[in-house]
Structure 1
């Protein structure tokens, strides 16, 4: 007897039984009573280790910040996604264990380390310059979910925002404001997410029949503020400048704004800016930042449920693409039409 069989007998989900066993309040008294009666009738008595879905499981989920250039715990976008993921996995009865990939670690073999700690599955947060060990883990028998990282293994899946739709919303908004000369600030050439957003931006520009000027496409070393600052300085040194710029992250956009201000340029009168992520700081910058909101809570919850299903053989993986939303603030000015 285990928690999964209890759930089947009660006609409820495994997560509902887990909530009842862990005294969560958001379950009806009627459901609690039915489940507790079945537990009593079957003589099921969960020990400390038996709160898992099967006796061989550890109830541990590995968390990996992938890539030689990985995001930090302070990264505002991924922190919110991870918080949402952590809460949902907690409801499902799991704890998280974080794996280091610092250079002093003698082995980058994530698969062996996952086996050592007996994790039930892993969530992998996208970074840049991906280590081969990430792909080895993806192709292993350990269930994995990527966040902003396409995984293709038989026990893997991934969640991300629709990056082409992100770029399309940006170009449409610029177009409605009357901007025809558009630039782009991205991360390094080996960043999959930056490349997807850039490709979507180019496609949207072409679909509106606008002229594409590659001189106004510049790249930083990462997605952070300092890279956005350096990239905008580089763009301004080209001589001519675009009327509007899409930055592949909010932090890049904030760095770009700082560089523009240093040159005495006004935002949005001289150059309009749109970022991506909708981090909290966007509301408090001067000017406040127009951005594309990624649904961070939904990404985290989806990642948790997908990983849970993979662990319990209720899914063969797959992917979820979450719809973004345009958040209009001051860095683009007002619409001319619509």
Structure 2
């Protein structure tokens, strides 16, 4: 009877990553655990297909792609679709193929990314950050497999990450509202577990205080970066006795959901000023067209590919790259008053 790593782990009462570490001769596994696993492997005649030495030398030219967390399980957020498309084009030109990992079975304790990355012997991984990130992601981050994070903070020695300057994202939005005469400003963000959402909320609050604008607790709503949550958050705002006149949504999809809620209410969409974030293609085609904070998706994907290649080649160690955002003004951010004639 030939066992798999998963079956060996189950019989030994350990995780798949522990079995993988023993197979690859890691030194951070206890001697009793190691012997127990080795005994089971010996009993059932298990022989790994590669050794630690071959792992160190073998190059597969395969990059693992991990959409970490609950929000990204369906691979369908347009921002990340564009980032991964740019990454694929750049890393593909270097001769690499992509292997997508599923997180659908992560309710089981013995499922993890490190074991699967070792099983497929990937040269490195790109990790796309979401909400409620699995702890297994951080185990992979601290392994010897090079990892490149997008919108997720990685701290491993062989890891790096790239992220938009989210404090400036909020600064550009609030400053735009302020210069257009708005003082009553609401914020729709993502889940509290999201580093991106938290940074944008922190930036929003900092800039509001800088301009002496009142931050109303009831005007701060949360969602999940997708349209339905923006729709719900805006409906919650519309149910209040005192309404904001400007809304910064931390993603274009939530902004589009908020615009839909306003249109379905008795309020005139032109009486609100809306700003989103991401500059997805749909933002150009809403009615009114959406003012947004552009994240340079092509640059992020391309840079992630080059940095990961450098990590694989051991040209660099841990680093963080912050990308500048840009305000794209369209029709949804209505000024309170007309510009002076001078």
TM-score range with shorter-chain normalisation?
A: 0.7 to 0.9
Distance 1:68 1:180 in 2: 35
Pair 1:81-2:71 in alignment: no
Q: 1:277 to 1:71 in 2, by over 3 A?
A: farther
Q: Deviations over 1:232-288 (max 9, x none)?
A: 111111221111000010000000001011112223x32110000000001111110
Q: Separation in 1 of the partners of 2:112 and 2:126?
A: 16
Cα displacement string for residues 146-174 of structure 1 (whole angstroms, at most 9, x for unaligned residues): 00111011110101110000000001100
- Between Structure 1 and Structure 2, how many residues are aligned? 283
CA contact (8 A) 1:83 1:300 kept: yes
Query: What runs of 5+ residues in structure 2 fail to find an aligned partner?
Result: 1-55
Aligned-partner SS, 1:98: strand
Instruction: Tell me how large the CA RMSD over aligned residues is.
Output: 1.6
Native 8 Å contact 1:299 1:322 kept in 2: yes
TM-score of the aligned structures, taking structure 2 as reference length: 0.80
Partners of 2:146 and 2:311 within 8 A in 1:
yes
Q: Residues 73 and 103 of structure 2 are in contact (CA less than 8 Å); yes or no, is this contact kept in structure 1? A: no
Could you tell me how far apart the structure 2 residues matched to 1:228 and 1:108 are? Answer: 33
Q: Deviations over 1:23-73 (max 9, x none)?
A: xxxxxxxxxxxxxxxxxxxxxxxxxxxxxxx96110000000001332533
Residue 191 in 1 paired to residue 188 in 2?
no
* Structure 1 partner of 2:267: 265
Displacement of 1:213 in angstroms is: 1.2
Aligned to 2:285: 284
Task: Give unpaired runs (5+ residues) of structure 1.
Answer: 1-53
Shift of 1:108: 2.7
Aligned to 1:308: 309
| Distance in 2, Cα, partners of 1:208 & 1:287 | 27
Deviates more, 1:97-106 or 1:197-206: 97-106
TM-superposition CA deviations, 1:96-139 (whole Å, max 9, x none):
00001002785431111000000000000011101110110011
Partner residue, 1:256: 258
Instruction: Report the TM-score, using the length of structure 1 for normalisation.
Output: 0.81
Match of 2:271, SS state, is coil
Q: For 1:58-97, what aligned pairs fall within 5 Å after superposition? A: 58-97=60-99
1:196 aligns to what SS in structure 2?
Answer: helix
Flag as ranges the 4+ runs of structure 1 deviating above 3 A. 104-107, 334-338
Give the Cα separation in 2 of the matches to 1:71 and 1:171: 31
